[in-house]
Amino acid sequence: MSRRILTTFDVVYKVERFTTVVRSFPDHDPQSKVYMKGTWTPADILPLDGKRILVTGANSGIGYHTALVLAQKGAHVILACRDQRRGESALARLKTNAPGASAELATLDLASLGSIREFARRVLAEERPLHMLINNAGVMAPPKRLETTDGFEIQFGTNVLGHFALTGLLMPQLERAAVSERSRVVTVASIAHKRGRLNFNDLQSTRRYSPMQSYQQSKLADLMFALELGRRLRATGSRVMSVAVHPGVANTNLFRAGERSALDSALRAVASQLIGALLNSDAAGALPTLYAATSLNVTDGGYYGPTGWMEMRGDRVGVAAIAPQAQDMESARRLWEVCETLTGVRFPFRVSD
């Protein structure tokens, strides 16, 4: 029994062996423009009138709070949600909390390449610029191995392949927006990437499935995708920026969602309360995403997160630590090629003059 409880807590807290982290960011960190300017808050966001912003997984948690703040600042926000009913509830809640906000619901299942392609087709048909794409949706550590509609392990398929395909298909609209002002792709990674390893021989975890290891691998891949996307965009002279963030450890729906045993559900409920009391709320967890999406101090290709204890909490946003394996450019290029092959999506990069 004790072994089972320990394993569950390892999954719930998302801090499995995070004591290996040896780097933190003091207030005087010269890399962080945040501290040169003072503490950043959503009040520093400039008006976003006329901006169209797409947020995946916007029906709850960090995604919802991100969409809410952006709508309050005047942007037209597209809440991309898998579940129609939950999406409608989130949209109604957002309009109650932000009277007069401009927002719409769009059905998008990132676990289905067909759904992604159909969604992108509708967006492209509108021929309107997309100023920000926030790749926020995610699946975390289901106890049993599950698959997407296309047969991919659900964490790698949703967190990585789904957002890779969506970003590639929507790149024309992001480029359209970048003609007048730099557009942005913000990808939500995790401090869990520090424990992640890419197993190219078993990316789909068919030989051996570990809930947390598969999650860590997917979040490492998310960060590597964001960094590689930035390198490729800069190499072609694109005005689209790629920025990555992590929320620390936040009390989001990832801890509570999914089909789980009674024990898992009970422990996750307890963990949710503890995280809310001791670490970040989902509203605080949204701060790095909001900063990356809107701040004029953001660096193209940067990675941002909370600067509190072990980067797990805090209302200050700063430059986040990147694990060495996430900076392996050869592996990043290989991952990119794998994603292209599995999704059938090629990014329409234009060669710079």
Which residues participate in catalysis according to the annotation? 215
At 4 the three-state DSSP class reads helix
Contact criterion met (CB below 8 Å) for 221 and 198: yes
Give the residue from 200, 105, 218 showing the smallest Cα distance to 161.
218
DSSP assigned state of 46: P
Structure tokens at 137: 């949706």
CB atoms within 10 A of CB 296: 8
Order of strands across the sheet that contains 132-135: 102-107, 76-81, 52-56, 132-135, 183-188, 240-245, 303-306, 317-319
Give the residue from 325, 346, 103, 329 showing the smallest Cα distance to 192.
325
The residue with tokens 């004591």 is 19
CA within 13 Å, CB half, 243: 30
Which H or E run contains 179?
none
Contacts of 7 (CB under 8 A, 6+ apart): none
CA angle 182, 335, 185 (to 5 degrees): 15
Give the type of residue at 324: P
Name the CA radius of gyration of the chain, rounded.
19
Helices (H), 236-328: 262-278, 282-285, 287-294
Give the residue from 165, 154, 150, 263 showing the smallest Cα distance to 211.
154
Q: Is 100 exposed, middle or buried (0-12, 13-18, 19+ CB in 10 A)?
A: exposed
